[in-house]
Structure 1
Amino acid sequence: MSLNKTVACPLDCYDACEAIIVNGKIRGNKEHFPTNGNLCANFISCNKEDYLKNAYFENKKISLQESLDILISKLKDIEPKNTLFYKGSGNLGVMQSSLKSFFAKYGSILTKGSLCDGGGGHGISLNRQEVINPPIEKLQKADVIIVWGRNFSVTSSHLYELVKDKTFITIDPIKTHIAKNSELHLSLNPKTDYELALLLTRFAYMQDLEDEDFCSKFNSSEDFFELAKSRSVLSYEEATGVSLEDVNRFFEIIENKKVALVLGLGVQKYYEGANITRCIDSFAAFLGLHNDKKHSGVWYLSNSKYGYESQFESNTLNKKEKVTEVDFSKYDLVFIQGANPVVSSPNTQRVIDGLKNTFVVFMGTTYNDTCKYANLIIPSCSFLQKSDVRLSYGHQYKAISNKVQEVNENSISEYDLTKYLFDSFSFDGLKDEDKILEYYINKKVEPYVFDNFEFIDDIEINHLYEEKLDNEFYFITAKKKKNLNSSFKIDNYLYLNPKTGFKNEDNVTLTSKYGKANFIVKLTEDVKENCVLCYAGNKNANYITPYFSDESSSSAMYQEVLVSIDLS
């Protein structure tokens, strides 16, 4: 291991922290502002991963070269239109996009949409063109931070450390860690976030908290307010489950304070997720949170590539399939990079059935659930064995990752595999690795300032509470400390409120109209009585989720689900 070099955490989280190698050990880099010398639990777990050390073909160890020969042979024998390239977010370094450039040029089918933030991002872009967060220093200047549908202290532990002395208000059906550390917790019913946003807009107007300067600049605010007052206050209270007393308390806390809103993924895991998010962002704008002279802005998953030009060619003519609706069995070959769709994609049984009926090539750093269905496994070298740049969707700072270990002879980096494939097919257009890295390292990006805001003025929502039967529950997913998506310490329990009548360690079957799965119960007061909770990575959770896409962004809608529970 080299000395005194930085490495960047490759994981899919807001913080994108950076470490430094000191005397052969990995330490948090004090010179990287968000990291501030600390390493989070996920980065520590990443360093302890049992990385793949061998390639496999039909469950038998083979050499790396043999695996490459098999891949080339397959790709040359199959029509490109009968292949699918499926990329996950196991590593978010910019160099990880290199492989997509090969498969695009080769002619594979690609995917579109998102399993994560797509709906919410689309909604925000309709309001303000780009999904860009303000500089993190503005969050530090807030007096009050509203955390809406995001377990901020868990999913953004580094950023939380920078602002943990602030006053927090949490809006979430679940009593999350950040909710327990908040001045006020509004425990709303699932999928009523837009209704709460409209109710809060009504109260903001009644209490003269509308930002007239901002709203007059973008005159669509009047139509938004008409939307907010199209229903009675009492109907909003009944739908959301949030009392008017708590709404008044909300405004007592924020009045005459500098306010920020930190928005999470929970609000947009629905069919109309884009418009739900857009409605919340419009409320924030009505209140003036985007006016940086008064407040501290709205945070979501920012477009980390804003201001950068892609350094990899991409054929825009490639046919694309919605990532939530992929039928793997349609293809003769599926190449999966850094993903675990067997656990992370909606409707697990459909995913498994599809993978069983195609030739699966998996490239990644660790053996995961999807590898069980892979015909060919190509080991990717660890983040310590390749150079990369990590751009953040949580803040404006980039993290630089240097190669500090020699590559295992039986593994290969994504860029080196891309180059090997380009050479094997006599393709051109792949830039030199050092030049690509140099571009991302040296590129300076100017802060984004939006000069237009389009308030939402109409919204139609299929209300789950109108469909819900007395014996049914809302299905909720959330992040948990010490695990990230389908990695590290996975929690497979089903969490229920004690008032549901079930007992700890009960074996139950959860049934939705999309499937069923078995769970062991764990009771907690943190879950509302009308909800069930599974943490991200739960191996059974996605047997009951829909593989259909949301209404506008080709993205997943994991919580558009009502379930019944029976003892197994």
Structure 2
Amino acid sequence: MAPDREPPRALPVLGEPPRALPVLGEPPRALPVLGEPPRALPVLRETSGVCPLDCPDACSWTVTVRDGVAVDLRGRRDHPFTHGTLCVKVNQYLEHTAAPDRLRHPLRRAGPKGSGRFERIGWDQALDEIAERLDGIRGTWGGEAIWPYWGTGSLGHLQGMRGPAGARLWNVLGASEHQMSICSVAGTEGVRLATGTKQGIDPESLAHARLILLWGVNTLTTGHHLWRFVRRAQNDGAHVVAIDPVRSRTARQADEHCAPIPGTDGALALGLLHVVVALGLEDRDYLDRHTLGWSEFRRRVLEFPPARAARITGVPERQIVELGERLARTRPTAIRAGMGMQRHAGGGAALRLLACLVGVTGDWQHLGGGLSYSTGGSFGGDLAALRRDGLRPAPVRSLAMSRLAEGLLELDDPPVKALFVYGANPVASTPNQHGVRRGLAREDLFTVVMDQFPTDTVDYADIVLPATVQTEHMDLHTGYGHLYLGWNEPAVPPAGECLAPTEIFRRLARRMGLTEPSLYDSDEELARQLLSSDDPSLAGITLERLRAEGWVRLDHAPDEALFKDGFPTPSGRLEFVSDAAEAAGLDRVAGYTPAREVADPGLARTHPFVLVSAASHYFLNTIFANRPALAKRAGPPTVAVHPEDAARHGLVDGLEARVSNDRGAFRALVTVTDAVRPGVAATTKGHWSKLTGGPGVNATVPERDTDLGQGPVYHDNRVSIEAADTVREEGLGRT
């Protein structure tokens, strides 16, 4: 593929310097008065990059720069997945990076923790203080008293969490290991138990499917580029089903909407399989050749006739039967599963079942069939070389990011004495919001936050470090919803005194006097080390090629089924039964694990609503919540309830309500709509408390684990909803 080219330039007159063409749409310039010196026209150039945000699409983009300023951002038209478009959020990315509240200089706390009061300092002061405090903590408490806490603010392999940035420094210091548990881990581990890998089918192959189950995913909000391939299949006659407790944007465009009670997806999967088996339409040849434990799993399936599945899920029995019959007779069938459906006590088991479901029907063997949860396992880069875990002086403890409050308030062997936060806003995004705030308010906790904007978490920092944005640094990206590598070339200089995360860690290592040579590798050296793998997926891909072309497809055949030669499991087969699951204390046979609070009848009487907090169409997790234009379009926090529930509980449209349980509460405006099923309340995540004036949805979310991977249980959360003026607020701020 040819590299991006600059726009064509007019031929110069002999003897004159070449002139850059003006940008289309600029007002005409006045001709110079005779005798005045000629005015130089603006110089334009284009730089290829990648969106860094937590979205499966990892869009490839082009930045147009005029006289050193980024003036235009657009999706690359030649990218097969981006296809020339960005999302409603990222269309405003350049305005976001130039916003007046952008952090541009290092800061030191000048008021109580949480007050957001700071004074400006220089980089020398900031790094000296951080180095001195970290050295002192190591000397007194040991390296494990330091918790490097990173999130998905960037998915870059160099500057973000894929590497992750700073890993080598934390390994040398012997810091506690940060466990990235907050997003997709339960589902990833569940899929791995069945298939041996977290790798799913190429999402582009959904264009070949004839039945598509969009299971727990709102594609048009959380990764809209996939919809082009779904629509192509739909136009060719495919039947598209959205399985979601809420009639989302995506569900409104599907052929059918199936609305299970949150956390009951595993029971629904077993009910559908019961129909397939009852019809005798399981793929027996495929089961014999490519699966392990079918007889045991078949007995599990027969325990869930449609009537039982209907009682558990709330889905009408007739719909289960009809969809099961369609599933039995339609090849290929593809499942696109989202992260939201695995955020409960049985989330890992649910994804394990979905991987098994398309094994019973034999769909893994067909192009366009199988399960797409993540393509993360498709990239064979040398992640071990990037992280260098061997630099640790000894094994260290692992701390789950979804249990931050517990880690800050309860650990004592050793206690967490230093927290270094980057690419994350845990005050707004982590369970047990009140506990997180209490932990961050500890005067004996030294907290450094590296960020681009003054988030809720920044307010608790002792030192704030200003980080570059994507248009200002070098990075390499893979998507978790497609099979393309993307290169991000810096387009403009950093704003103010901002530094790239990799450079911040290099400078901090130098201030601490660390001598490990790999701590000082340049960004280009890091990229080369990552791409030095001999994995087949990187065949023919070099850094030079990637920088020249901007994006390259991983070397996976686009016209073949993923596991045509078997599965990377111990048996080489799709495993309905798993020794690894049994060793972890789980059911050896794939099956349904109920969500804890959802399935608790006593709790249902006191807190009648199951609360789901989905992604906002206008925020990306908590990113963009401070953009006035997007915040205006998103509106204030709302909570949607079904008309039957509204009548039962005295709730009306526009009412300011208090959504609460024993853990906490937040305020929201009621929306009465049949887009949610009875018994479910739906809100969106991402609001900053400092902008809404009170606690957010995570004040109500428990700090408990999923069945696999220590993931969070955002959707295993029961609440009550009452008019805000009828209850005592107990110091809670207004939203």
Band of TM-score, shorter chain:
over 0.9
Residues 279-298 of structure 1 aligned to structure 2 (within 5 Å): 279-292=353-366, 295-298=368-371
Aligned pairs for 1:383-394 (under 5 A) are: 383-394=470-481
Q: Does 1:29 align with 2:69?
A: no
Q: What residue is the counterpart of 2:339 in the other structure?
A: 265
| 549-558 vs 456-465, greater mean Cα deviation | 456-465
Secondary structure, aligned partner of 1:485: coil
Q: Which residue of 1 aligns with 2:421?
A: 336
Which position in structure 1 is the counterpart of 2:349? 275
Specify whether residues 366 and 23 from structure 1 end up closer, same or farther in structure 2 by C-alpha distance, changes over 3 A only. Answer: closer
How far residue 258 of structure 1 moved from its aligned partner, in angstroms, is 2.5
Alignment match, 2:60: 18
1:435 is aligned to 2:525:
yes
CA contact (8 A) 2:458 2:464 kept: yes
CA contact (8 A) 1:484 1:536 kept: no
The CA deviation at 1:360 is 1.3
* Partners of 1:356 and 1:319 in 2: CA distance: 23
Separation of aligned partners in 1, 2:201 and 2:306? 33
Name structure 1 gaps, 5 residues minimum.
none
Residues 165-218 of structure 1, C-alpha deviation per residue, up to 9 Å, x if partnerless?
323111111111111111111111121111110000011122343122321121
User: 1:38 — aligned with what?
Assistant: 85
Note the C-alpha offset of 1:69: 2.2
Question: How far does the alpha carbon of each residue in 1:357-407 deviate from its partner, in whole angstroms, 9 at most, with x for none?
Answer: 122110012221111111111000111111101111111111210011112
Alignment of structure 1 residues 219-258 onto 2, 5 Å: 219-251=292-324, 253-254=326-327, 255-258=329-332
Q: CA deviation at 1:283?
A: 1.4
1:336/1:31 CA distance change after superposition, 3 Å: same
Equivalences for 1:90-169 in 2 at 5 Å? 90-96=153-159, 97-165=164-232, 166=234, 167-169=239-241
Residue number among 451, 462, 465 corresponding to 1:364 in the alignment: 451
Q: Which residue in 1 is equivalent to 2:483?
A: 396
Change in CA separation of 1:387 and 1:256 when aligned onto 2, cut-off 3 Å: same
Counterpart of 1:461? 593
Q: Which residue of 1 aligns with 2:722?
A: 566
Superposition deviation, residue 432 in structure 1: 3.3
- Whether the 8 Å contact between 1:9 and 1:18 is mirrored in structure 2 is yes
Do structure 1's residue 412 and structure 2's residue 546 form an aligned pair? Answer: no
**One-letter amino acid matched to 1:493:** T
Deviation, 1:22, is 4.0
2:454 paired with 1:320 = no
Alpha-carbon deviations, 1:93-125, whole Å to 9, x = none? 101223122122112223225111011111000
Q: Which moved more, 1:270-279 or 1:87-96?
A: 270-279
Shift of 1:304: 5.2
Measure, in 2, the Cα distance between the counterparts of 1:446 and 1:319.
37
- After TM superposition, the structure 1 stretch with the greater mean CA deviation from structure 2, 311-320 or 198-207, is 311-320
How much does 1:423 deviate?
2.3
**2:585 maps to what in 1?**
none
CA apart distance, 1:305 = 7.0
Partner of 2:132: 73
Asked if 1:307 is matched to 2:380, the reply is yes
2:166–2:505 contact (8 Å) kept in structure 1? yes
Question: Helix, strand or coil: the match of 1:565?
Answer: strand
Distance 1:231 1:299, change over 3 A: closer
Which residue is 1:61 aligned to? 120
Q: Comparing 48-57 with 377-386, which one deviates more in the overlay? A: 48-57
Is the Cα–Cα contact under 8 Å of residues 52 and 477 in structure 2 kept in the other structure? yes
Residue pair 1:52, 1:365 contacting (<8 A) in 2 also = yes
Deviations along 1:128-177, one digit per CA (max 9) or x if unpaired, are: 11111223332222233110001012111112123323231111111111
Candidates 664, 677, 686, aligned match of 1:515: 664
Alignment of 1:553 with 2:616, yes or no, is: no
> Are the equivalent residues in 2 in contact too, given 1:104–1:318 (CA < 8 A)?
no
Q: Distance in 2 between matches of 1:498 and 1:553?
A: 37
Conserved 8 A contact 1:133-1:394: no
Q: Please tell me the residue identity of whatever aligns with 2:593.
A: I
Amino acid at match of 2:575: E
Q: Separation in 2 of the partners of 1:250 and 1:234? A: 14
- CA distance in 2: counterparts of 1:427 and 1:33, whole angstroms: 44
Measured in 1, the distance between the counterparts of 2:527 and 2:366 equals 34
Q: Distance in 1 between matches of 2:342 and 2:78?
A: 35
Which residue number in structure 1 is paired with residue 546 of structure 2?
A: none
Distance of 1:93 and 1:159 partners within structure 2:
21
- Contact 1:113–1:553 (CA under 8 A) maintained in structure 2: no
| TM-score, normalization by structure 2 | 0.74
Contact 1:140–1:163 (CA under 8 A) maintained in structure 2: yes
Which AA in structure 2 matches 1:426? L
C-alpha displacement of 1:525: 1.8
Structure 2 segments unaligned to the other structure (5+ residues): 1-42, 67-71, 110-117, 410-414, 533-537, 540-553, 557-561, 578-588, 625-630, 690-695, 725-735
Which 10-residue stretch deviates more, 274-283 or 231-240? Answer: 231-240
Counterpart residue identity of residue 491, structure 2:
V
Distance 1:48 1:249, change over 3 A: farther
Change in 2 beyond 3 A, CA 1:44/1:427: farther
Using the TM superposition, give the Cα deviation of residue 462 of structure 1 relative to its aligned residue in structure 2, in angstroms: 4.1
| Identity between Structure 1 and Structure 2 (%) | 22
Q: Larger radius of gyration, structure 1 or 2?
A: 2
SS of 1:190's equivalent in the other structure is: coil
Match of 1:211 in 2: 283
User: Is the 2:247–2:676 Cα contact (8 Å) retained in structure 1?
Assistant: yes
The residue matched to 1:65 in structure 2 has which SS? Answer: helix
- The worse-fitting range, judged by mean Cα deviation, of 441-450 and 68-77 is 441-450
Distance 1:300 1:135 in 2: 10
1:478 aligns with 2:614: yes
Q: Partner residue of 1:170?
A: 242
TM-score calculated relative to the size of structure 1: 0.94
Take 1:482 and 1:534, find their aligned partners in 2: how far apart are those partners? 13
Q: CA deviation at 1:253?
A: 4.7
Contact 1:117 1:301 (8 Å CA) reproduced:
no
Q: Report which stretch shifted further, 221-230 or 519-528.
A: 519-528
